[in-house]
Amino acid sequence: MRVLIQLRPSPDLVAAVADPGRSATTADVADGLPGVTLDPSFTPVAVPRPVPSPGGDPLSLNQPLDFSLAAEDASVLVRGEISDDEPATRVALLPTLRPDVVGVFADPVIESNLTCGGDAPVGDWHDVERLLGTSALRAEGLDGSGVALAVLDTGINAAHVARHLGRGVNLDAERSWNPAGVAGRPGEFEVDHGTMCAFDTLIAAPQASLIDIPVLLSSRTGGSALDGLLSDAVAAFAHLRTVLEAQPAESRSLVISNSWGSFSPRWDFPPGHPGNYSDNAAHPFNLVVASLDRAGADVLFAAGNCGRECKDGRCAYPDRPIGGANSHPRVLSIGGVDTEGERVGYSSQGPGRLTARKPDLCAYTHFSGSKAFGEGEPDSGTSAACPVAAGLVAAIRTQWPAARLSPSQLRSLLRRTADDRSDVGYDFDYGYGVVDPAGVIAALRRRAKRVA
């Protein structure tokens, strides 16, 4: 996290900072604060000391005050960044290690122009193709050929996807699956959220074979239109286990894209209850996710649309909205950036509920793509970012089945090669950064040489 650090250096340094005719740099004032990456581009700022009237309370700011910039009174602010992993520890330890540190304060982003729900598209899917370097992926033979890519959502309308992509779509009807009670044929569902997700997977992996699983069309007691129940997702994952195990071990590849989650703790048992889902790795769905990972599947989940700046109206977790499988240690949890690389304001921030370091990565969203919601409406939400990332994973799997690169190794590779959006590694806005296919290709080339 970005921080402002208040220091009280020697009076001559304070005087140099306070004097507009002189110059003092961050290095002059605070070189080498342990655990802090200082921003040398920030010119230190002198902070006046509040001085109560004679006889006033020296500890209160709620009284008439004067402010002194005298060298013996004033302090100095510098700017830096500390790891999101340890803000509390670092803030507590800094003053003990460096007595000149008198305070550490948050330095929040104050821009107000983040993309939010309802905003117009930022770029289109050809921009996403360019950002994903799809021509370079194809030059490496990474186009999703032979890779099974399951979209668990509201069902796919393959004709709509093909029309808007301007190319054919491989729909694997045989391995598609409906929850009990859901009518409809694979690839022939109404154009909706699932069609958007399918379109977005094919940006990076145009030759992948789509497995259509309309898990959000549950008709069970407790569900409603365009909602599902987690039990249907348990059954869907059990089906996908059979799909995976039917593949030859040496060429197994199955990518599972999930742009859904549970918005409200009211729908769950309370945290601490042994049957709770959102905070409990022992819930059957979280177990089946771990089981699929162990069997060789790549599982991706959207991080959710509960970002602080413009959260979805359904968000009901007061904090830590990335819960359940969306924060599972064996999945890639995907946040969203627009095509200019800025986090969209609704993309959920970590820490996650099952695993603190969530989201893992960001991928592109809020672009003009599938037109599933009408002309001029973007493919949006972390719902779009997740399948964009799933398409990249499917592209990689073309040449790198799970036997060559395990799901765990692939997650590490994506995290390690991500375009870090902070100065000190992981952060709860972007995770390890934005997916970087060029970095992935370079790393895979090195790996291929090593194992040759």
Partner 1 sequence: MVLVTVRLPPGATLADAMERLGLSEEDVDTGYGLVLIDPDQGLYGLRVTEEAGHRTGPPFSDPRIEPYGPG
Amino acid at 152: L
Minimum CB distance to partner 1, residue 266 (Å):
9
Q: Which of 154, 178, 349, 368 binds partner 1 (CB under 8 A)?
A: 154
Q: Residue 23: which of 35, 10, 13 has the closest Cα?
A: 13
Q: Is 287 among the residues that bind partner 1 (CB under 8 A)?
A: yes
x/- mask, partner 1, residues 194-213, rule CB under 8 A, reads --x-----------------
* Cα separations in angstroms, 102 against 92, 344, 398, 452: 11, 35, 55, 56
Minimum CB distance to partner 1, residue 53 (Å):
52
Q: Which of 160, 164, 193, 283 is catalytic?
A: 193
Interactions with partner 1, residue window 388-447 (CB under 8 A): none
Q: Residue 240: which of 148, 103, 350 has the closest Cα?
A: 148
- Where residue 425 falls (left for φ over 0; alpha for ψ -120 to 50; beta otherwise) is left
Q: Is 291 among the residues that bind partner 1 (CB under 8 A)?
A: yes
Q: Which of 146, 373, 412, 443 binds partner 1 (CB under 8 A)?
A: 373
Q: Which of 383, 422, 427, 429 is catalytic?
A: 383
- How, if at all, do strands 75-81 and 37-38 pair? antiparallel
Q: Extract the runs of DSSP E, i.e. beta strands, from 310-429.
A: 332-337, 361-364
Q: Which of 377, 419, 420, 423 binds partner 1 (CB under 8 A)?
A: 377
Q: Is 381 among the residues that bind partner 1 (CB under 8 A)?
A: yes
- 437: Cβ–Cβ under 8 A, 6 or more apart, which residues? 132, 133, 136, 137, 204, 392, 395
Instruction: State how far the Cα of 304 lies from the Cα of 59, in Å rounded to an integer.
Output: 43
Q: Which of 47, 230, 240, 354 binds partner 1 (CB under 8 A)?
A: 230
Q: Is 193 among the residues that bind partner 1 (CB under 8 A)?
A: yes
Q: Active-site residue 153, yes or no?
A: yes
Q: Is 268 among the residues that bind partner 1 (CB under 8 A)?
A: yes
Q: Is 226 among the residues that bind partner 1 (CB under 8 A)?
A: yes
Minimum CB distance to partner 1, residue 234 (Å):
6
- Please, what's the b/e burial string for 190-217 (b: 16 or more CB within 10 A of its CB; e: otherwise)? ebbbbbbbbbbbbbbbbbbbbbbbbbbb
Longest dimension (CA), the chain: 85
Interactions with partner 1, residue window 39-98 (CB under 8 A): none
Tokens encoding 239 = 């089906």
Comparison of 177 and 400: residue with beta carbon closer to partner 1: 177
Q: Is 216 among the residues that bind partner 1 (CB under 8 A)?
A: yes
Q: Is 262 among the residues that bind partner 1 (CB under 8 A)?
A: yes
Instruction: State how far the Cα of 196 lies from the Cα of 160, in Å rounded to an integer.
Output: 9
Minimum CB distance to partner 1, residue 221 (Å):
6
As to burial, measured by CB atoms within 10 angstroms (0-12 exposed, 13-18 middle, 19+ buried), residue 138 is middle
Q: Which of 73, 188, 190, 227 binds partner 1 (CB under 8 A)?
A: 227
As to burial, measured by CB atoms within 10 angstroms (0-12 exposed, 13-18 middle, 19+ buried), residue 113 is exposed
Identify the DSSP state of 326.
G
Q: Is 5 among the residues that bind partner 1 (CB under 8 A)?
A: no
Q: Active-site residue 383, yes or no?
A: yes
Q: Which of 366, 397, 411, 415 binds partner 1 (CB under 8 A)?
A: 366
Tokens encoding 313 = 């109206």
Comparison of 127 and 338: residue with beta carbon closer to partner 1: 338
Tokens 């946040």 correspond to: 335
x/- mask, partner 1, residues 324-343, rule CB under 8 A, reads ------------x-------
- 248: Cβ–Cβ under 8 A, 6 or more apart, which residues? none
Q: Which of 45, 51, 93, 116 binds partner 1 (CB under 8 A)?
A: 116
Q: Residue 264: which of 296, 304, 216, 215 has the closest Cα?
A: 304
Q: Which of 124, 190, 309, 312 binds partner 1 (CB under 8 A)?
A: 312
Q: Is 261 among the residues that bind partner 1 (CB under 8 A)?
A: yes
Q: Which of 84, 127, 143, 153 is catalytic?
A: 153
- How, if at all, do strands 75-81 and 2-7 pair? antiparallel
Cβ atoms 248, 259 nearer than 8 A: no
Q: Can you spell out the DSSP letters for 18-76?
A: H-TTS---HHHHHTT-TT-EE-TTSPPEEEPEEEEPTT--TT-SSS-EEEE--TTT-EE
Comparison of 167 and 220: residue with beta carbon closer to partner 1: 220
Q: Is 228 among the residues that bind partner 1 (CB under 8 A)?
A: yes
Comparison of 18 and 151: residue with beta carbon closer to partner 1: 151
Q: Is 276 among the residues that bind partner 1 (CB under 8 A)?
A: yes
Report the catalytic residues.
153, 193, 383
Residues that bind partner 1 (CB under 8 A): 116-117, 153-154, 180-181, 193, 196, 215-216, 220-224, 226-231, 233-235, 238, 241, 259-264, 267-269, 273-278, 283-284, 287-288, 290-291, 294, 302, 304-305, 312, 314, 336, 344, 346-347, 365-366, 373, 377-384, 386
